[in-house]
Structure 1
Amino acid sequence: MTKRLLTALIGLFLLAAPAWAQQKTVTGRVTDEQGAPLSGASVVIRGTTTGVLSNDAGTYSIRTAPGQVLQFRYLGTTPVERTVGAENVINVQLRRMAQSLDAVVVTALGQTTAQRAVGTAQQTVQGPDIANTQRESFVNALQGRVAGVNVVSSSGVPGASSSITIRGVSSISSSNQPLMIVDGLPIDNKTLNTNTLPSDRPGSSTAFNNRGVDFTNRAADINPEDIESITVLKGPEAAALYGIDAANGAIIITTKRGKAGARGIEYTNSTRFEKVRSYPDIQKVYGISGFGGIGATLSTTGSTTPLYYGVPYPTGTTFYDNVNGFFQTGVSQKHNLAFGGSAADNHLNYRLSTGVVRQNGVIPNSYFNRVNVTAASQGDVNSWMKADLSMGYTNSANNQNYKGDNGPLLSLLVWPSTDQASDYLSITGARRRLTAANAEIDNPYFGINKNFINSKVNRLIANVGLTFTPVSWGYLKTTLGADTYANQNMLLRHPESAFGISNNGILDQADDVTRNLTAQTILNFNSRQLTKSLSVSGLVGNAVSDAKSTVDGGEGTQFLDANFVSVNNTLTRTSTTVISQRRLVSAFAQAVVDYNQYLYLTLQGRNDWTSTIPAERNSFFYPSVSASFVYSDAFPTIGRHMTGKLRAAFAEVGRDARPYAYRSSLEAKTTAYGGYGYGFTGPNPSLRPEFAKSYELGSEMSFLDDRLGLDVTVYRKTTTDQIVNDVRASYATGFVLFNLNGAATQNQGLEITARGTALRRNAFSWDILANFESARGKVTKLPNDFPEAYVSDTWLYGNVRNGVAPGLSTMSLTGLFYLRNNQGQLLIDPATGLPLRSTTFINAGYDRQPKYTIGLSNNLRYNRFGLDFLVDLRRGGDVFNATQHYLTQRGLSLQTLDRDTPRVVPGVLRDGKENSANPTPNSIVVIPSQQTLYYQNMSEELFIEKNINWVRLRDVTLSYNLPERYLNGARLFVTATDLALWTNYTGLDPIVNGNTAAVGGSGAAGIDYGNFPMPRGLNLGIKVGF
């Protein structure tokens, strides 16, 4: 059976239909108004389905006959027709036009339709725009290019995870990331959650420290050079046919295929150099006063760090530049080689590519390496059957550093500048310490050389699609997909490290084997004319998906040899297995009614059956309806001056729970007698699916022969009966956590996309694309009227977390902040003269949501030169600068230099009169150098910086297309990434995530604690075709 299947698959790649009659071959080149080649322009024989696409040099080759008409089309240009005569070469120049409503776009389930018929908001980014950024992950390249899309990288370390949200945060505790689709089928974008690590088991002392552990999200396995285009479906109404997983929108990725009539080889090479952009300033006036553990940080309790409240350094003291000397120049190499083309009769196309990335970061021993091999083929098996096959293999290796209090940044800053930090080993090869304390903070060099987070991935994604067209009224398409990978992870805390010494070393191993199987069948009904003015088309289909993840973990402690990294080198071993499986069966339908090609009505419906909800409630139906009205066609008078479209949509989308959310599961116990017992999470047999209702209105307009275009969208989304994970409950229940329905959130916003040609003269052009978003999300209800809900993994430092409550933003922060009277004045302790802090978590109105964001893409062309740059702007939103609070507590912040200055903290005494008409003003004088609790007990509230703004020069590319007499389609380029940042934030970078992308809800976006920022990068490269 296996041999027969393999033979059949090979046959589909090689089989082509009988050759058609060959008359003559016409070749040529398709260019824009400036003479630059247009890659991917379609050349079709009118009245037939025979066609080809131009290659990267703009050239094409097609078999045709004299008298036939060739149609040339390219997105955003006026179609051109040429009648074939005696000539064998036809060159065509395509001009821009106001034809965006006639462009063909990708919608749900891989369907394509004219933009004029789409009643929902979506936006497309072309593959070259992504690849030109030279970023390793396409996710990071999307920031600023799509209105409503926000990307946050967890750090600037190679392989750091990135979270992506569309239209803000709506879920309080579950994932807010969109569904990702590659060539019509979903793929896994998971980031390994640290709660699957053996060291994260209930009761483990390491669990808190694991909150600073990051792994790569699986979208980074895709090579950006293999992407043809990315279409973002923003609202649930646009993704309703994708079902449950598309409640947060969908990202549709179309990969490259071979181009008919064009055979060739493409090679791209680039080298990048990276430098750290900035690091915190520390004072070098006052010396060490002692060592100790301070603050209420959960994961640093008991660790000892230097405290800088001593006397000033003597004149002539030698200081070492430990901070600047620690970082290195990061060097990366990329190689991409692709071979593609088609058979002589254009009934079979193929593409084979390979890509290699070798990235070394600015932090020593940090790297991300990736190898991609992809193959794709499309062919006509016969006159009524087509096959589409694709496969992608990824092998990657990633070595990261810890973040937060176990990471090298904080230890680098607090390490005495009077000591040479690079001298981190004693003459015996052991860790060199400053004191005799075992838990002394790690030397930064010791941390990067002896502790590590290592991950290795082998991944295979394969899709097989068959399209049957035995009848004229429609076609049947069946697609099978498999996405499977093995992810091996190892975390080491050296036996002599601050966090490993109490266990004489901690070695974590977690092997995640994930497989996602998907089958999808769609019966499409071609447009049928009911009357002269009215036509209808549609589809019905079903999909089955089965996702299973098995994480086999092992933890070893008590190392026998401190420098031998193996679980066999440990005395105490604990093994765990975490299995997660989910099955989803779906049926769906769509009908599109077309009136005179200017009024469209789309009706959609879907029913899902899920395994993660109790059987009596696991089936649920949800509808969607959208309308599009091209008023410039309906009223020709208007159409002479502009093109315009109105659209409206309503949708309801269901969402299930995570696996095993409604029943408690057994876990292996580490007691003396072992065995199994219930975990922390209790059962909830009443669990129900949650639903989101979305309303959207929009308009698309273009003016001045398409010199100016505008797309405006307003939306509102309400989520009800939302499932909140891991809600704290009374211990009397026998459990600690429960998953409960009952929350509600509301999101609304405004999106504006404006495109225009600022200047077009002779060989020069300047095109601008602006993306604006203003979005607000708030919580309207919590289960059982609880006062607060939060995700515990965001409790990274001190007493601040992503707590939410009714009336607050979905990205609010709560904490043990200062107490105030009913007039908002600080309450002062009469005994110390210092402010008093609350013992319960307080909402003080802190909100990490920006007021608005703007992305400005600029494309300048002059003859063969090109300059592209992206400016990213943000206004508003709060950031918790926990790193600065950490330095202030320890006397290292520049804010502590005025420690000898007497002061009175503004406020009123807590003497019983604080809420009266005449509270007692504070008059107690405090000198911080004599009362160090002034700094050490400072509330984190003072370090939540409000209304942070920035302007970031994100991506800049200068390119030159060499004349064809030298090389075919050769292009030289220089690309800079994260080149400049202007901000009122006092920390390193306001784009920050203290957690990993695996953490649900709003996560720790906007919590800056020991994070390395994105480095500044410069790429030099060349792309050639043969």
Structure 2
Amino acid sequence: MKKNVLHLLAVLTGLLLCAVSYAQNRSITGTVTDEKKQPLSYVTVMIKGTSKGTTTAKDGTFRLDAAPGSILVLRAVGYTSKELPAGNETQMNITLTENASDLSEVVVTALGVRKEKRNLTFSSQEVKSEEILRAKEPNILNSLTGKVSGVQITSSSGMPGSSARIVIRGITSISGENQALIVMDGVPINNDENGGTYNGGPGTNRLADIDPSIIENINVLKGAAATALYGSAGARGVVLITTKKGAINRRPTVTVSSGLSFENAIFPDRQYKYAQGVKGVYYDGETMKSSTSWGPLMDTLTVNGQKVQAHNPLKEFFRTGVTSNNSVAVSGGNNASNYYLSYSYFDQKGAIPKTSYKRHSLFTKYNTQILDNLSATFQLTYSTAKNNKMPEGYGLESPLWTIFTAPVSYNLKPYLNDDGSQRLYRASRNNPYWVLDNILNTTLVNRFLPVMTFVYAPTDWLSVTERMGADIYTDQQDYHVNMNDITYNTGLIYKEDLNFRQFNHDFIIQLKKQFGLTNASLMLGNNVYSTHTDYKTNLGLGLAKPGYYNLASASTVTSTEFSSLARKVGFYAQAEVDYKRMLVLALSGRIDGSSVLAANNRYYPYGSVATSFIFSELFHSSKLKEVINFGKVRASYASVGNDNVKPYSTTTPYTQAIIAGDVSSNLTFPYQGQNGFLIDATLGNPHLKNELQKEYEFGLEMKMLDSRIGLEASYFNRQMSNGIVEGISLANSTGYASTTINSAKMETKGVEALLNLTPVRTKDFTWDVTVNFTKFKSLVKQIGAGLTQTSVGGIYAKVGEPWGAIYGTKYARTSDGQLKINDAGLPYASGDFDIVGNITPDWTGGITNQLRYKQFGFSFFIDTKQGGDILNSDDGYGLYYGTSKQTENRADRVVAGISDATGAANKVSVTGQQYWQQVSGITEAVIQNNSYIKLRNVSLSYNLSKKTLVRLPFKDASIVLTGRNLWIHKSSSFTGGDPEVNSWGNQNGGLGVYTFSAPTSRSYDCTIKLTF
């Protein structure tokens, strides 16, 4: 009996404790909204310290049982986490603030479609306006250098208006175009470079026409799955530029910005110890001329008892460049429309005298809600740019060749003799100061970029977009050479006129619908795209009198004209399914038809499949969610075409005849009023197809510790087939010299990573760090037509080797690697051309630090390239002329190696001049390591506080001090100034070549910005 009573008491006690516990817990309901009072779904609501929780419904509501005193933890990707005590209330209204740095931000993707970053199934990276402007680069592409993983930016030189090249994830074609597609506000725009026939160096890429201050952000789409909707034009990656717009319900705001910068050229290494001369004998450059500096030491050199004055040709020739950049922008709007209008004037006076780049830019954008369900955007970008520059490279007109190799014992000024002829210290080069006054190289570009966009949304699940855009520009180049020039003694006039017109039209239907926990979307579209180019040149030889540059007065005038028209039409579709905002599947497909292909190959399909899984949505532990706020894995596969077939490549054109050889020595047409034409030596190929790329990609994205740590990493593998190879030799019996075929294969593998850190985040102080890393290799697997190698310019593709091989002569060596030495005691080149280097780096990376304390901001950006080679032609010539830094060591020597004559160790002594001039002709001797570490940008800013602004007529005011290229750590083997220079612009064949280009600069800038 007693036992039963105790058992009953235990049961009653348990029931009582359960009742008490139940009485302490109560049901809490609530609604979670954003700052605009819009409900937030899928917000995680957890009881801190437990695994108990729930998520908000579509209308932002939730219900949860919690005891008084419990702490509720609310988390949502894209919003700052919040902790709240449960208290005694049973109804809670909670507002979460947006966290712009989180992965839930909306980004612009292909065709201008905006998507949440968390749902992306591919790799992309965005650069904000603040970072673009902080770079203080006149060319937008250069502002991306080192900031985006997987992206290579190459500058051509430091000449005002010089070009830049962008390649994403390595090259995609051996013979064709490799630069990424540039899209601004949904419309592709041209980024070609037209260097001109006689310039001797690169021109300006057309993206330089765009004012950086109008850009809101740049989003780089890297993989084939990300760009498949752009068709064959997007196979090389896409750079999406979004411009600024006005704000809704905001009174007119005026922003004025004014900046001034000073730049000094970064010079190559050279020797300043030895005078002009040969074999230690002094040549004064007047009575005895020589191109070399193998004379005596300057310290002890006297003539008639007078010490010979030493000169620094580089410092005397170059000046401090000055750049001013001024802009004004007006923006505003009401509840139905908004506007943005800006004007800017950029004026750069280069470090080379009489060089400049001046750009006027006008931009206007107007957004309006015409009807409740119909909106429109009208915008226009206009720019006019005038570029004055000097010839570059190793052309005879280039002043840089002479300046870089000029003797330190010779004064280049004055440049005229008493009789009016050029004053020269050597016979075969113009005096560089004469060039400044007598060779004019001017380019004038006028460009219009109109865009109209209409969006009709009859329901909340259906929208129809029509977008029309054009890119129209004229490029006029004038190149004048006065009489008394070394090459064109009677003078030269060359005029080049390029008219380019590009039209783009997209018609897009988008459907979005939610089915329970599943969100589905479908996009259908049509694209029509065309380009039309007219190109005319006029060459006049023989001026009527000095300085009179009129074609009508030239002794002979030759004209050429070329026109091309290409059209493309595409039909595309994309379907995307999102389950519980956790699992995303995306499918896309496109069919393109191109007029440049023969009828039987004109249409080609391709597409992609991609998926992502947000594994952090499976976490139920609040402690785990505090550590890993967001986690996603993704995978994709895509097959796309690469539109690299040039217009008229499928047919064989006629060209104006030139008859040479046994019949006549260089008889050109028209002859005595009669024109003549011959079939071109390059045979057209009607079977040409687009190149094909197949790529798969895997990626990981994570946010940790309240988004203080962010990681994005990708691995990609791209297989290229049907690669276009130009210049395939044909037998003489065919009547043609060469043709173009589809035969190359190449594989590119790579990894890229982006790490974002916030080590410190307080009310007054924030420290953000961004690190990026890229590593890839492109392996040539096949050339075709029985070839094992082919070249584009000076860069080679060889089967079994990474793309980017530099070919040239190598030292002759014995079987065990020792140098072979000839009878004169000198090393020599082996008979065959071989690989002497490769331009592809082992890896690249960059690190940005941004620190903010109250109204102060400080940032510095360091980037690096490790590995890869460069062919330093400057140093090769410097070795011969005796101006290279290496030639300071000119003592007699016995070159280590095996003598051809004796088969034993060499014992023959040679002079320093003999040695250096001998090796200057061996390519291997001037292959140098292209690694560097750059302190590319340092910036200090101050924003006036709100308390101060109250007393001033400004809404905002700031001052920014910026230093660019303040420090460069280059490889000890590299003797040039800046290893980033690419002498031949954005062409494949010019990469990795350093040849008398205008040096880049170290600059200091001050910018003041006021907002009214």
1:763-790 Cα distance to aligned partner (Å, 9 max, x none): 1111011111111112111021313211
Match of 2:447 in 1: 459
In 2 relative to 1, CA 549–806 (structure 1 residues): closer, same or farther, beyond 3 Å?
A: same
Secondary structure of the 1:423 match is: coil
> Following the alignment from structure 1 to structure 2, what is the Cα–Cα distance between the partners of residues 707 and 430?
69
> Following the alignment from structure 2 to structure 1, what is the Cα–Cα distance between the partners of residues 523 and 746?
33
Q: CA deviation at 1:820?
A: 3.5
Match of 1:295 in 2: none
Secondary structure of the 1:977 match is: strand
Q: CA deviation at 1:558?
A: 1.7
RCO higher in structure (CA 8 A, sep ≥6): 1
Match of 2:533 in 1: 549
1:345-494 equivalences under 5 Å are: 346-406=335-395, 407-434=398-425, 437=427, 440-494=428-482
| Paired residue type of 1:165 | V
8 Å contact from structure 2 (residues 826, 910) kept in 1 = no
| Paired residue type of 2:411 | Q
8 Å contact from structure 1 (residues 904, 922) kept in 2 = no
> Following the alignment from structure 1 to structure 2, what is the Cα–Cα distance between the partners of residues 184 and 690?
25
Match of 2:191 in 1: 189
1:174-214 Cα distance to aligned partner (Å, 9 max, x none): 121100101001000010154xx4x7xxxxxxxxxx6x322
8 Å contact from structure 1 (residues 928, 935) kept in 2 = no
Corresponding pairs, count: 896
Aligned counterpart for 1:575 among listed residues 534, 547, 559: 559
Q: Identify the range of structure 1 (894-903 vs 762-771) with the bigger mean alpha-carbon deviation.
A: 894-903
Q: CA deviation at 1:635?
A: 3.2
1:598 aligned onto 2:585: no
In 2 relative to 1, CA 474–811 (structure 1 residues): closer, same or farther, beyond 3 Å?
A: same
Match of 1:562 in 2: 546
Secondary structure of the 2:791 match is: coil
1:59-95 Cα distance to aligned partner (Å, 9 max, x none): xxxxxxxxx99xxx999653999xxxxxxxxxx9997
> Following the alignment from structure 2 to structure 1, what is the Cα–Cα distance between the partners of residues 625 and 583?
15
> Following the alignment from structure 2 to structure 1, what is the Cα–Cα distance between the partners of residues 811 and 681?
32
Aligned counterpart for 1:837 among listed residues 829, 836, 839: 829
> Following the alignment from structure 1 to structure 2, what is the Cα–Cα distance between the partners of residues 184 and 894?
51
1:980 aligned onto 2:981: no
8 Å contact from structure 2 (residues 110, 226) kept in 1 = yes
Secondary structure of the 2:131 match is: helix
Q: CA deviation at 1:732?
A: 4.4
8 Å contact from structure 2 (residues 750, 775) kept in 1 = yes
| Paired residue type of 1:1009 | T
Match of 1:108 in 2: 110
Q: Identify the range of structure 1 (731-740 vs 956-965) with the bigger mean alpha-carbon deviation.
A: 731-740
1:359-393 Cα distance to aligned partner (Å, 9 max, x none): 10111011000000011011111112111111000
Q: CA deviation at 1:667?
A: 2.4
Aligned counterpart for 1:231 among listed residues 219, 222, 233: 219
1:93-117 Cα distance to aligned partner (Å, 9 max, x none): 9978597232211111111111121
Secondary structure of the 1:790 match is: strand
8 Å contact from structure 1 (residues 98, 705) kept in 2 = no
Match of 2:880 in 1: 889
Normalised by the size of structure 2, how large is the TM-score?
A: 0.85
> Following the alignment from structure 2 to structure 1, what is the Cα–Cα distance between the partners of residues 816 and 142?
45
In 2 relative to 1, CA 528–983 (structure 1 residues): closer, same or farther, beyond 3 Å?
A: same
Q: Identify the range of structure 1 (446-455 vs 151-160) with the bigger mean alpha-carbon deviation.
A: 446-455
8 Å contact from structure 2 (residues 596, 646) kept in 1 = yes
> Following the alignment from structure 1 to structure 2, what is the Cα–Cα distance between the partners of residues 492 and 838?
43
8 Å contact from structure 1 (residues 290, 306) kept in 2 = no
Match of 1:120 in 2: 122
Secondary structure of the 2:797 match is: coil
Aligned counterpart for 1:658 among listed residues 646, 652, 666: 646
In 2 relative to 1, CA 959–542 (structure 1 residues): closer, same or farther, beyond 3 Å?
A: same
1:958 aligned onto 2:940: yes
Aligned counterpart for 2:569 among listed residues 569, 572, 585: 585
Secondary structure of the 1:597 match is: coil
| Paired residue type of 2:826 | L
Match of 1:88 in 2: none
Q: CA deviation at 1:741?
A: 1.1
Q: CA deviation at 1:1005?
A: 2.3
8 Å contact from structure 2 (residues 795, 991) kept in 1 = no
1:500-533 Cα distance to aligned partner (Å, 9 max, x none): 23xx22322111100000111000011331xx33
1:718 aligned onto 2:692: no
8 Å contact from structure 2 (residues 294, 913) kept in 1 = no
8 Å contact from structure 2 (residues 77, 104) kept in 1 = no
Secondary structure of the 1:136 match is: coil
8 Å contact from structure 2 (residues 133, 213) kept in 1 = yes
Match of 1:306 in 2: 291
Secondary structure of the 1:237 match is: helix
Match of 2:791 in 1: 790
8 Å contact from structure 1 (residues 653, 692) kept in 2 = yes
Q: Identify the range of structure 1 (608-617 vs 468-477) with the bigger mean alpha-carbon deviation.
A: 468-477
| Paired residue type of 1:681 | T
Aligned counterpart for 1:46 among listed residues 33, 38, 45: 38
Secondary structure of the 2:637 match is: strand
8 Å contact from structure 1 (residues 804, 813) kept in 2 = no
Q: CA deviation at 1:957?
A: 1.4
Match of 1:261 in 2: 249
1:684-720 Cα distance to aligned partner (Å, 9 max, x none): 1221221001111000011111111111111111111
8 Å contact from structure 1 (residues 493, 499) kept in 2 = no
Secondary structure of the 1:586 match is: strand
Secondary structure of the 2:810 match is: coil
8 Å contact from structure 1 (residues 516, 547) kept in 2 = yes
Structure 2: unaligned runs, 5 residues or longer? 1-33, 41-59, 62-74, 84-93, 281-288, 658-667
1:280 aligned onto 2:263: no
In 2 relative to 1, CA 282–379 (structure 1 residues): closer, same or farther, beyond 3 Å?
A: same
**Which of the two has higher C-alpha Rg?**
2
Using the aligned pairs only, state the percent identity. 30
| Paired residue type of 1:989 | D
Q: CA deviation at 1:822?
A: 4.2
1:574-593 Cα distance to aligned partner (Å, 9 max, x none): 11112122111000000001
Aligned counterpart for 1:1014 among listed residues 1000, 1003, 1006: 1000
Q: Identify the range of structure 1 (627-636 vs 925-934) with the bigger mean alpha-carbon deviation.
A: 925-934
Structure 1: unaligned runs, 5 residues or longer? 1-41, 49-67, 82-91, 200-209, 292-303, 793-800, 912-919
> Following the alignment from structure 2 to structure 1, what is the Cα–Cα distance between the partners of residues 1003 and 272?
29
Secondary structure of the 1:470 match is: strand
8 Å contact from structure 2 (residues 185, 243) kept in 1 = yes
In 2 relative to 1, CA 693–687 (structure 1 residues): closer, same or farther, beyond 3 Å?
A: same
8 Å contact from structure 1 (residues 538, 592) kept in 2 = yes
Secondary structure of the 1:448 match is: helix
1:517-532 equivalences under 5 Å are: 517-529=503-515, 532=516
Secondary structure of the 2:555 match is: strand
Secondary structure of the 1:841 match is: strand
Normalised by the size of structure 1, how large is the TM-score?
A: 0.84
> Following the alignment from structure 1 to structure 2, what is the Cα–Cα distance between the partners of residues 104 and 362?
42
Secondary structure of the 2:605 match is: strand
1:871-950 equivalences under 5 Å are: 871-907=862-898, 909=900, 920-928=903-911, 931=914, 934-935=917-918, 938-946=921-929, 948-950=930-932
> Following the alignment from structure 2 to structure 1, what is the Cα–Cα distance between the partners of residues 493 and 82?
65
1:648 aligned onto 2:635: yes
1:105-148 Cα distance to aligned partner (Å, 9 max, x none): 11111111111211100000111210122211111000111111
Aligned counterpart for 1:969 among listed residues 956, 969, 973: 956
Match of 1:320 in 2: 311
> Following the alignment from structure 1 to structure 2, what is the Cα–Cα distance between the partners of residues 403 and 100?
47
> Following the alignment from structure 1 to structure 2, what is the Cα–Cα distance between the partners of residues 731 and 400?
43
> Following the alignment from structure 1 to structure 2, what is the Cα–Cα distance between the partners of residues 930 and 639?
71
